[in-house]
Amino acid sequence: MTDTDDPLAILWDSLLSRDLPRVRNAFFTLAPADQDAVRDHLERMASEPGWLPEQRLSAQKALDALKKLTD
């Protein structure tokens, strides 16, 4: 559950939702530099130790959704 008044929490809730359209919509609200930073963070979440399995899976699903845009 997120704090509905916190735009950053809403953004990450959407990015990690595992809902392809919701992930993409949230991603495209960002400026290009922020998109790069978010993609980098998602890659770290998906690959680095220290994240919970559910967080890693959500990050990978988001990356998969975004990758389909460039394929």
Instruction: Give the pLDDT band (50/70/90) at residue 25.
Output: very high
Mean pLDDT confidence for 16-41: 96
In a domain, 19, yes or no: yes
Residue 31: domain span:
7-70
In a domain, 1, yes or no: no
In a domain, 2, yes or no: no
**What is the number of structural domains in the chain?**
1
At 10, list the tokens. 């809403």
The chain-wide mean pLDDT, for the chain, equals: 92
In a domain, 65, yes or no: yes
- pLDDT of 45 strictly over 60: yes
Supply the pTM of this predicted model: 0.87
- pLDDT of 64 strictly over 90: yes
Mean pLDDT confidence for 37-50: 97
pLDDT at 1: 46
